[in-house]
Amino acid sequence: MTDSDLLNSIACKDESAFRQFYHKYHNLLYSWAARRTGNIEQTNEWMQEFWIYLWLNPLKIRTDDQGYCRKFLLSHFTYLMLNYMNREFEGFDKPDTCLTDEVQDELPYSHVEEDFNAQELTATVSKLIRDFPESIREAFKLYWDGDLSIKEIASLQKINERTAYYKVKSGFDILKIKILKINPAEGQIHTV
């Protein structure tokens, strides 16, 4: 059964098709979200939001000519995750503990192709960040790549926390605009 078949069945509220789609893509999407958020609780919350979104909107996921959606799904998922992270931006400080081991314990090894797609998406986001205005780029990279909190970014850059918050939030806004330029169909999505 292709992804297109599964998504059409999910649109008809076929729970079996939903379970198949979930099992096929959960590990890929979960590991991607966990790497970006660095927080298992936030990742679990986001994943729940995403799967509810998919159940309600399966036909918003586009497939390729062979009926598969892996590449589109990663880009669509990232766009929705950025929207979610933007909405949850108030409690911006990250936990002090490193959750890499915890994530690895919870995630079984998926597939080389899935790892490659996640790496490709990470590389694409990194390329998009390079074009940010310099002051926003530096603050955003400290948050995105360096996993620093707003307080840590403000201290490191010798700016107040409100300015650091504004720069990182602006980075998210710019990234969403750039993703829309790559994939204009995403513009139809406003919230999860």
Structure-block tokens of residue 32? 């991607």
Q: Which residues of the chain have pLDDT under 70?
A: 84-121, 182-192
Structure-block tokens of residue 133? 């205005």
Q: How many residues does the chain have?
A: 192
- Rounded to whole angstroms, how far apart are CA atoms 119 and 136? 23
pLDDT at position 185: 53
pLDDT tens digits, residue range 160-186? 988 888 888 888 888 877 777 765 554
Q: What is the DSSP letter of 2?
A: -
| Torsion over CA: 31, 118, 143, 174 (sign) | negative
- Rounded to whole angstroms, how far apart are CA atoms 11 and 18? 9
pLDDT at position 24: 92
Domain boundaries, given as residue ranges, for the chain: 3-188
- For residue 92, count other CB atoms closer than 10 A to its CB: 17
Residue 139, CA distances (Å) to 61, 63, 162 in order: 32, 35, 12
Residue 137 backbone phi and psi in degrees, to 5: -60, -45
Structure-block tokens of residue 91? 């409690």
pTM, two decimals, is 0.49
Q: What is the DSSP letter of 114?
A: H
